[in-house]
Chains A and B, each alone.
Chain A
Amino acid sequence: MTVALKSQSSLPALIFAALATLYGIVFLTAERERALGALLIGAAVAVVLAARFGVAERVRQSIGANERTFDIAVIVGVLVTALWFHHEHFILLMMATSLLLMVAALGLTVQFGYAGVLNFAGAAFLGIGCYTAAVLTNFTSVPPLLILPLGGLIAAAIGSILILPVLRTRGHYAAVVTIAFGILFKTFIEVNDAVGGPQGMRVGSFTLFGWTFNDPIRIGTFEASFYLVYAVAALVLLVFAFALVRRLERSWIGLSLDAIRLDEIASACYGLDIARWKIFAFTLGNFLIGMAGALYGHVLGFIAPNNFTFGDSLIIVSIILLGGIGNPWGVAVAAAFVVMLPEKFQIIQEYRFALYAVLVILVLLFRPEGLLPRSLRAYVPGWGARESSPEGTR
């Protein structure tokens, strides 16, 4: 491990993180659609050129060899971006939303990318988290710090109703079970007046040690939007989820999940308990999605059934497909784009469901493994750098 660390400089990875942060700030600052379009095209050209001249490969190797440094650099990058926009409510809200969607997409990655368990009710589990937060802040005085894990637990518990049908069914049939559940959840919330019916309900503020998140921040002369705190909280949650998913992938659990996805019969022959691992992946995924949902409810401040439609579930699925199934970094990039693009290009807002659906169709037709395919599992930082072929056994 140390050998690998020494043989690769961390400089390319750090430069890449810095450039990405800069790009993010410029992109978020840009207002006019023409400038935004130029930025997008510029990024695409830069990626193509970098791939052409071997820069991308060097960056990739450097990242592979210095994972921890790169992870910290990215966290710092996101923090810098959040601080840069500390006055801008809207941009911070967007950042928090994409960070939380990343957490949800990570949950789906565990279910779908690793264990191969289908879940087309992502938005419903996100909604369960949101409504947990709403109900708990409105009717109880449960400390908000507990609400996050509770949101996850309740999502996992409600999801466990689906375990039996999901386990017993396969492929298309399993898809229908989750689709039916997604629609059921939205319809149920819509007709249930106790949680506000179609009008939705308010979510109380997140408080931590007597400090209400919804108050604007004033420290000395420094003033910031209250969304800054939410963005940071979302980042903390994301770091937790990301670390968990990466650890999981590198452990024997991740290996078992991969084996089950690739061939159930073969892995059963080698003594893997398929039911147990599928239940594990499904429950853990729902827990992550529910936790993201609980914080998302606080961030939004007001939730309604229309936030959790079947279309929204498909958007979360689109994120993991566009990013590359099973690749957490790909998921992160895809989630950022999927959230930011419609907000930045107002013209897209109306067309977003259709646009992402078309994009996914194109990806499935021409690049079925996603835009950033999952690479070979690296058990130790630096392994992937020496063997640069992402093909072969995954």
Chain B
Amino acid sequence: MDITLFGQYLINGLMLGVMYGLVAVGFTLFFGVLDVIKFSHGDVLTVGAFTAFATFLALKAMQVASPWLQLVIISFVAMMAMALLGALIAKYLVLPLRTAPALNTLLITLMLGTVLREGVRLIFPDGSNPKPFPRLLPSDAYTFGAFTLRVDSMILLLSGLAMIVAVHLIINRTKLGLAIRAVAQDGETAMTMGVNFTAVVLITFAIGSAVAAFAGVMNGLYYNEINFGMGLLLGVFGFSAAVVGGLGNIYGAILGGFLFAGLQTIGAVALPFASAYKDVFALAVLIAIMAWRPTGLIAEKTSERV
């Protein structure tokens, strides 16, 4: 394989890894504080990307021309809107079902995901068709011999990594993060120590959803296309990444994201029968991993009280 193609795959794989990692962080945060899986997470990402797109159209109508300003505003609006949506979902759908069987939470969030996905398709004008996401990043490219480095990819990659670092700092270096970790470890004890349980859960869901919105904007900027179904696959892969890394473990989620993206990229490169099967391959690998390590590579410690 020549170096150009290799570079392409490398960048692509890293980009996918960052995106999966960002989605996985959300899954892992939610699982940490409430022991629930929110299956609508991928669709929150879609809604985030579409919110960004709608904001872009509004900005264009208001004649804000600077791409940097546009970029900052659309990311900000999308993240804030999704943070709100995430908190609302937690308050009205996830928390009321805390005492119900875990299965009900799973079903309700799956169905909510469908509502969001279909909502985007039906409410957005001509929502069934893919939408061209604007190219807001500089499209310069530097060539090192046969290896081409595109500036927009680099910016996306670095900002994605910066986002991961930011989440890491929030969780590990702030008082809020301390509260989140306390709730994740033991909700009841955290409450007796004066942590406002509900508030922490809502904020956690807000953070996770905002990160997903960021991943959605990243996805839009990288592929220059968004569609209503993009969240489904990203959600499944993001969840797989979280599971592979071990749910409830942020570093595991990021590791899992890169591992999963790597597998997918290797699958696309190494498989003789073209890249058409790359999603099939990735999903098959996911099923195999689940069969091999049912609760992820870094296993969740389970013990059941009878």
A351 is an interface residue with CB less than 8 A from chain B: yes
Contacting residues, chain B, for A351 (C-beta < 8 A): 118, 122
Contact call B106/A172, Cβ cutoff below 8 A: yes
Please tell me which one of the listed residues B96, B294, B306 contacts residue A265 in the complex, with CB atoms under 8 A apart: B306
By a CB distance below 8 angstroms, the chain A residues around B118 are: 311, 351, 353-354, 357
The stretch from B76-84, B146-154, B195-203, B235-243 touching chain A is B235-243
- The 5 nearest A-B residue pairs measured at CB: A354-B118, A165-B291, A357-B114, A184-B283, A357-B111
Task: Determine whether A171 belongs to the interface, using a CB cutoff of 8 Å to chain B.
Answer: yes
Q: B253: CB under 8 A from chain A?
A: no
* Cross-chain contact A180 with B283 (CB below 8 angstroms): yes
B277 contact from A120, A191, A357, Cβ within 8 A:
A191
Residues of B within 8 A of A173 (CB): 243, 290, 294-295
Other 9 A-B pairs with CB < 8 A, given A169-B294, A177-B287: A165-B291, A171-B103, A172-B37, A183-B233, A321-B107, A350-B122, A354-B115, A357-B112, A364-B100
Give which listed residue, A177, A266, A310, A354, contacts B122 with CB less than 8 A.
A354
Q: Is the CB of A179 within 8 A of B287?
A: no
Residue of B with least CB distance to A170: B294
Partner of A183, one of B107, B117, B283, B306: B283
Interface centre among A171, A181, A265, A357 (most CB of B within 10 A): A357
A59 to B122: give the CA distance in the assembly, Å.
42
Is the CB–CB distance between A188 and B280 below 8 Å?
yes
Q: Is the CB of A353 within 8 A of B276?
A: no
Residue pair A168, B110 in contact (C-beta under 8 Å):
no
B101 — nearest CB in chain A belongs to which residue?
Answer: A368
Known: A179-B236, A314-B111, A364-B97. A171 touches B106 (CB 8 A): yes
B174 touches A (CB below 8 Å): no
Nearest-neighbor residue (CB-CB) of B304 within chain A: A265
- Are B112 and A184 interface neighbours, CB within 8 A? no
Residues of chain A contacted by B304 (CB below 8 angstroms): 265
Q: In whole angstroms, how far apart are the Cα atoms of A171 and B294 in the complex? A: 11
Which residues of chain A are within 8 angstroms of B39 by Cβ–Cβ distance? 175
Within 8 A of A (CB), among B39-68: 39
Any chain A CB within 8 A of the CB of B286? Answer: yes
A161 CB contacts on chain B under 8 angstroms: 287
24 A–B contacts from the bound complex (CB under 8 Å): A120-B110, A164-B291, A168-B294, A169-B291, A169-B294, A173-B294, A175-B110, A176-B290, A180-B286, A183-B233, A184-B284, A187-B283, A191-B276, A314-B111, A314-B114, A350-B122, A353-B114, A353-B118, A354-B119, A357-B114, A360-B108, A361-B111, A361-B115, A368-B104
Q: Is B232 at the interface (CB under 8 A from chain A)?
A: yes
Most chain-A CB neighbours within 10 Å: which of B37, B106, B233, B290? B290
Report the interface size for chain B: residues with CB under 8 A from the other chain: 42
The residues in A between 231 and 261 inclusive whose CB is less than 8 angstroms from any CB of B are none
A169 and B111 contacting across the interface, CB-CB below 8 Å: no
Q: Which one of A164, A175, A176, A181 has the greatest number of beta carbons of chain B within 10 Å?
A: A176
Which B residue sits closest to A317, measured CB to CB? Answer: B107
Residue ID in chain A nearest B233 by CB atoms: A183
Interface string of A144-176 (1 = CB under 8 A from B): 000000000000000001101100111111011
Q: What CA separation (Å) do A317 and B283 show in the bound complex? A: 22
Nearest-Cβ distance from residue B112 to partner chain A, whole angstroms:
6
- B104 & A165 in contact (Cβ 8 Å cutoff): no
Q: Is B232 touching A176 in the complex (CB atoms < 8 A)? A: no
Convert B82-114 into 0s and 1s, putting 1 for each residue whose CB lies closer than 8 angstroms to a CB of A: 000000000001001100101110111011101
Q: Which of A80-105 contact B (CB under 8 A)?
A: none
B70 to chain A, nearest CB (A): 31
* Whole-angstrom CA separation of A191 from B294 in the bound complex: 29
Residues of chain A lying within 8 A (CB to CB) of residue B110: 120, 175, 314
Q: In the complex the two chains form, is A176's CB within 8 Å of B240's CB?
A: yes
Question: CB of B279 within 8 A of chain A?
Answer: yes
Provide the bound-state CA to CA distance between A309 and B169, in Å. Answer: 40
Partner of B112, one of A188, A310, A361: A361
